[in-house]
């Protein structure tokens, strides 16, 4: 299930790239989230889960949805307009890398030497991928900046998500999060892109990719990820996230005929190596804690 979730998130960059040929970013995000919220509601009804949000959590849910999906998808989708799916996936994959930094700044959690080393190794990998041999941008600086905006939004989202996971099931959180996100995108969609939506004549491939984004990228991937966390734990499941850029690169090469040059491969290996270093150190720390408890 963890592998399936990462594969869905990896291929979602390719699906988004296909849909961008016909629909503008705000349109894609509004349709994707609306369809996902509907699918999540159907899953909740099937599970006979009671939907009840406490009044004191309204603000937290609003801020959760504001940072992700609203700000996150703006950064990710607009960033994908300027860079390849492979580079986008690698930049977004640095989210777990920045999480310890967020923990240090926000919660005064200790940063280990391995965390710091992994951070610099992975960050070097990102630079290898976006700079050419003469240290000039081979990828769009604007695209990379937008993707790092998405990373920042995802990190802020973690702060509010942490407050809700102990009170609500993942199904409820994802449903409310995507439903509020769709409502946030609705006015800007109507204001800026509704006329373009009515004039668009998407291909069957684009419509299929849009449905796949909603079903697999925004719904089933989260369900599978949640189930994996319950069985494997957060630390072990997080390691599978390092496979997202690999899936994105392979599928981009097959579907979009994207060329994966040696520089991109080297950069990808550095990013994944740095992430793996920090994750493995976290697992060892957890194992020592459990052993001491026993």
Contact 103/158 with Cβ under 8 angstroms? Answer: no
Can you give the pLDDT at residue 10?
A: 92
Confidence (pTM): 0.84
pLDDT in the model for residue 104: 67
In angstroms, the CA 226 to CA 151 distance is 20
pLDDT at 286: 63
pLDDT of residue 21: 95
CA torsion 286-291-293-294 (nearest 10°) is 140
Query: Across the chain, which distance is largest between two alpha carbons, in Å?
Result: 65
Give the Cα separation of 131 and 140 in Å (integer). Answer: 10
C-beta separation of 181 from 36 below 8 A: no
**What does the pLDDT read at residue 117?**
82
DSSP state of 112: P
Residue-level pLDDT, tens digit, the chain, 294 residues: 888 998 999 999 999 999 999 999 999 999 999 999 999 999 899 988 888 899 999 999 999 999 999 999 999 999 999 999 988 988 888 887 776 666 667 656 666 777 778 778 877 888 887 777 666 777 899 999 999 999 999 888 877 887 888 788 888 988 999 999 999 999 999 999 999 999 999 999 999 999 999 999 999 998 888 777 777 766 566 667 778 888 888 899 899 988 878 877 888 888 888 877 776 666 666 666 666 666
* Burial (0-12, 13-18, 19+ Cβ within 10 Å), 239: buried
Domain map (residue ranges) of the chain = 2-293
- Give Cα separations from 194 to 26, 115, 237 (angstroms): 9, 45, 39
Residue 89 CB burial class (10 angstroms; 0-12, 13-18, ≥19): buried
**164 phi, psi to nearest 5 deg:** -100, -25
Strand ranges (E), the chain: none
Whether 74 and 24 have beta carbons less than 8 Å apart is answered as no
Contact between 236 and 283 (Cβ < 8 Å): yes
Burial class of 13 by CB neighbour count within 10 A (0 to 12, 13 to 18, 19+): buried
Q: Are 192 and 9 in contact (CB under 8 A)?
A: no
């Amino acid at each position: 299930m963890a592998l399936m979730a990462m594969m869905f998130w990896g291929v979602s960059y390719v699906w988004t790239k296909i849909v961008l040929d016909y629909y503008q970013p705000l349109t894609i995000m509004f349709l994707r989230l609306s369809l996902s919220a509907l699918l999540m509601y159907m899953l909740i009804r099937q599970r006979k889960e009671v939907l009840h949000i406490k009044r004191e959590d309204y603000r937290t849910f609003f801020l959760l949805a504001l940072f992700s999906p609203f700000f996150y998808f703006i950064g990710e989708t607009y960033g994908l307009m300027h860079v390849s799916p492979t580079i986008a996936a690698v930049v977004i994959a640095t989210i777990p890398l920045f999480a310890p930094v967020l923990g240090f700044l926000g919660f005064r959690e200790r940063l280990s030497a391995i965390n710091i080393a992994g951070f610099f190794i992975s960050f070097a990998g990102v630079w290898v991928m976006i700079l050419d041999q003469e240290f000039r941008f081979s990828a769009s600086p604007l695209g990379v900046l937008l993707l790092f905006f998405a990373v920042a939004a995802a990190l802020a989202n973690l702060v509010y998500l942490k407050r809700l996971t102990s009170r609500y099931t993942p199904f409820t959180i994802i449903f409310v999060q995507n439903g509020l996100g769709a409502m946030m995108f609705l006015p800007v969609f109507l204001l800026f892109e509704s006329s373009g939506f009515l004039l668009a004549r998407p291909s069957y491939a684009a419509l299929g990719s849009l449905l796949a984004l909603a079903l697999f990228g925004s719904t089933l991937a989260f369900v599978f990820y949640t189930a994996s966390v319950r069985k494997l734990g957060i630390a072990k499941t997080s390691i599978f996230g390092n496979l997202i850029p690999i899936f994105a690169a392979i599928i981009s090469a097959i579907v979009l005929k994207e060329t994966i040059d040696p520089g991109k491969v080297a950069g990808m290996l550095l990013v994944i190596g740095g992430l793996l270093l920090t994750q493995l150190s976290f697992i060892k720390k957890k194992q020592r804690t459990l052993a001491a408890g026993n």
